[in-house]
Amino acid sequence: MEYMNNLSISQPFMPMVIPEVSLLDNNEPIDLSPVFIEANTFQVTKADLMTRCTIPVFAKDNETTISHTDFIVAVEQVVGSYHPHHNTRIRVSHPVKGRIPDARYKKASELQPHEETLYYERMMFVIDVPTVRKDFGDNSLSLTIGGVRSYHLDNLHSKKSAEKFKLLTYVCGAMAWSKTSRSQAFTSFKTASNR
């Protein structure tokens, strides 16, 4: 993944504090695993992305984009070099369906599974790092790292150009009086291939 060596940070990490969230009605603590973008998305695995999804190309020169899987794996490798015990969750939205050229004149209802193509315009992931945890009395904070990729931010109708990504760090934990406190930092970056 040599293309990740040519990074250009477009904005510094900006801490963002999310307001405290109340308890559930029955006074049980809220699940502290980060809930991220559940509306209009669904969970997939890396295997799904690798085996079921095509990789979009830039239309004018037919150069491939950096796939969602490559982005996830690159971040996992960095996180794994510091924290080998982690868990990755992936969510996608905006499916873009297609078909192979041999099936271009078939009705949609007549398509066979091998004749359909698919990729997701938007993908988000979080990597939970349970080994990075700090306890404060009965309260604890844990680390989550994530990323967002939206092909709609890249101009796929032209020649290959720098591609856009977003990374985040996320700290989540239960604070005093069983309320949840979360803070996060986002950064955006672009990368271009050295190929």
Token pair, residue 114, equals 């091998």
**What pLDDT band is residue 172 in, cutting at 50, 70 and 90?**
low
Q: Supply the pTM of this predicted model.
A: 0.72
Q: What is the average pLDDT score of the chain?
A: 75
What is the rounded distance in angstroms from the CA atom of residue 191 to the CA atom of residue 181? 33
Q: Any alpha helices (H) in the chain, and if so which ranges? A: 46-52, 68-82
Q: How many domains does the chain have?
A: 1
Asked if 71 and 148 count as a contact pair (C-beta separation under 8 A), the reply is no
Share of the chain above pLDDT 90, in %: 34
Instruction: Select from 11, 4, 145, 128 the least CA-distant residue to 71.
Output: 4
Instruction: Select from 81, 86, 67, 66 the least CA-distant residue to 145.
Output: 86
- Range among 9-23, 61-75, 124-138 with highest mean pLDDT value: 61-75
53: pLDDT strictly greater than 70? yes
Can you give the residue range of the structural domain that contains 56? 2-191
Q: How far is CA 97 from CA 7, 74, 94, 123, 137, in A?
A: 30, 26, 10, 15, 51
106: pLDDT strictly greater than 90? yes
